[in-house]
Amino acid sequence: MVDATIHHLEEELKKVVEHLKQEYVHLQIGRASSSLVERLEIDSYGTMQNIKSVASISIPDARTIQIQPWDKGVLPAIEKAIQVSGLGLTPTNDGTVIRINIPALTEERRKDLTKLVHKMAEEAKIAVRNARQTAMEKIRAAHKNSEITEDMSAHGEKRAQEKVDHSNREIDSLAKGKENEILTI
């Protein structure tokens, strides 16, 4: 019972950390990255598809993303998806490919991104606390229902807290790394 609860907690914590990593990848930090646009959805012949399904995405230099669709008919849809994405990027369509120039970050934008990094990290920590609370409640309920002994309950709670502490350290490390990346570009 305790092992299953701890295993479930570990899985939840891994999901939280992976989600945070994905969120950080999608932050626009002044360098071109295909991950900024590859998941954007476009309407391609009546079905919604992400851009990487209908085009090749390349990075010709550090500040440019180039999108070359396999069918030129989807160029306007790709261009529109980028414009309305909220990424603050301006695509240039030359009829064959779409180029996106990534602007250099201003000091103000770097500070805003740093705040966003910390906000995302705090949201991840909240998710970790919620997962811990659920695990602790399950362990306490099992003890209350005499399914496990008091020692097993205490040991389970200690193991759960160790997993939570490890996840929080990992979140802090990710946030610090992303902050350094933003401030040193």
* Per-chain mean pLDDT for the chain: 88
- Per-residue pLDDT tens digits for 97-124: 999 888 777 888 788 888 889 999 999 9
How far is residue 100's CA from residue 87's CA, in Å, rounded to a whole number? 11
Domains (range + CATH), the chain: 2-26+106-183 (1.10.132.20), 34-101 (3.30.1360.40)
Q: What is the 3-state secondary structure (H, E, C) of 51-109?
A: HHHHEEEEEEECCEEEEEECCHHHHHHHHHHHHCCCCCCCEEECCCCEEEECCCCCHHH
User: Which residues lie below 8 Å from residue 119, measured CB to CB, with a gap of 6+?
Assistant: none
Lowest mean pLDDT among 26-30, 46-50, 54-58: 26-30
Single-letter amino acid, residue 12: E
Question: Looking at the predicted structure, is the pLDDT value of residue 72 above 80?
Answer: yes
Is the separation of the CB atoms in 148 and 142 below 8 Å? yes
